[in-house]
Structure 1
């Protein structure tokens, strides 16, 4: 699922990747809206819980990093759960989404998960949070990206990563949702990324020296599986923003993809989710940096 992917930096390779992402997105404001809508849907499914890792967010001066923060929506939600002394940093690989100035005790920096963290981010944070970002780490690979994230942690700090599961054949998914998952995974493979990339996260956490590695599976409901009509509508919306972008990209990147997969996909998706609903599984991984 295209999330905050792209690059920032001075190398030719990095700049080209950034431009490819922005060219694929086209409308920056529309992409930002998609990210915000997606965040609200996930938070609804998680009952507004952000930190699953057992980090003490009430600690005076707690330090939190959100990597791939886009416009900082998640940090502004988390701001309500931490003391005024908290130090919060949002990092993203592209400046196009970042706020141009600090917001209270939230400040923003540019950083790519594929690169070693800048000195100001190294060894500092009680919680480093990442959501739907590691699918874009094909330049470095998942293992190096996780190692980079682990380097941002203070002793005793926690790394938490959430990724949607794009492995095909999920039993709780109607056909339109299965087609979307298949299309996304096929695009990943065409761009050199393993669609099973998320399975590498626990091992990568251990190789990075983290301990207490934990995986929690969550089911993100879409459409009719929610009893409340407002929830039905709001849960259907995120992929309505995504499907046109993914279908357009698939036609360019995957010309050999069966057109039946993306034919009338948005209409089929809306109908099936409204009438039946389904689930998009996700995994939340977290692990702790040793105290010494």
Structure 2
């Protein structure tokens, strides 16, 4: 595949999600997917939406959730805080924002590909972003996105970013590896030859944060369980739904790519993945990275 073709396709998966979401005003299915994904991931994180060691008991903090979608991460932080803070959520799909917004929360349209308002620089105590780096390419590099977010922090403020690792895990039964291999193939082809260079979008984040002037940079691996691998029945069902919800969109991207990429076993991947995860369970790895201004 040529570099030009790969560059054009590099954000195709994310665009499929966004276009599909924008096409439906009520976004019922997307709201369900977002809620399921959030609860599955936070459960794997030990019930904590935040690893960065900021003191949330100090009132009046200014907190940004970049690419906030429906604002669920903000809602969790509000519930975990005993004092009032100012929250800002930004995204490009306005119809996902809760209406009316929770007290103290403002939702605004803002792409991670574009500079944030200059007046926001050095005004936030905490900036969070999860699972959206794929939307930055090919126009923007990880360096651009991380620097943009770091610029928003006050001295002493924290940046936390969460991305998924697409490397197959030894815990997975062989049948699940076909799903993980699909993601590896997708990302490897989408990002090979582009500014990203690597398929795992989290892989350079610690170095990018340090280069942006952040200190006390740390990362933690989080193994997210699905289906039969989840003991809690409430989370188990939600993990199953979120695991398969994105498959049609991934496949729609792959079908537009050169035919030598396509694997015949992907034809019924959605139903087969659901059955495999329900009967045997499966795992993915998330990486949480944080640093301080």
Q: TM-score, normalised by structure 1?
A: 0.85
Where do residues 1-20 of structure 1 align in structure 2 (5 Å cutoff)?
none
Report what 1:281 is aligned to. 285
Where do residues 47-196 of structure 1 align in structure 2 (5 Å cutoff)?
47-99=46-98, 102-138=101-137, 139-167=139-167, 169-192=168-191, 193=196, 194-196=198-200
Structure 1 residues 199 and 19, CA gap change in structure 2 (3 angstroms): closer
SS at match of 1:230: helix
Structure 1 residues 18 and 279, CA gap change in structure 2 (3 angstroms): closer
Report what 2:259 is aligned to. 255
Note the residue ranges of structure 1 that are not aligned, 5 or more in a row. 1-15
Report the RMSD for the aligned CA atoms in angstroms. 2.4
Report what 1:231 is aligned to. 235
CA distance in 2, matches of 1:186, 1:247: 11
1:217 to 216, 221, 225: 221
Structure 1 residues 175 and 32, CA gap change in structure 2 (3 angstroms): farther
CA distance in 1, matches of 2:134, 2:15: 18
Structure 1 residues 17 and 178, CA gap change in structure 2 (3 angstroms): closer
CA distance in 2, matches of 1:142, 1:243: 25
Structure 1 residues 286 and 256, CA gap change in structure 2 (3 angstroms): same
Kindly state the Cα deviation for residue 263 of structure 1 after the two structures are TM-superposed. 2.5
- Is the 1:190–1:254 contact (alpha carbons within 8 Å) kept by the matching residues of 2? no
CA distance in 2, matches of 1:172, 1:85: 42
Kindly state the Cα deviation for residue 24 of structure 1 after the two structures are TM-superposed. 5.3
Q: TM-score, normalised by structure 2?
A: 0.84
Report what 1:46 is aligned to. 45
- Is the 2:58–2:83 contact (alpha carbons within 8 Å) kept by the matching residues of 1? no
Note the residue ranges of structure 2 that are not aligned, 5 or more in a row. 1-11
Greater relative CO (CA pairs within 8 A, separation 6+): 2
- How many residue pairs end up in the alignment? 273
Decide which moves more: 279-288 or 225-234.
225-234
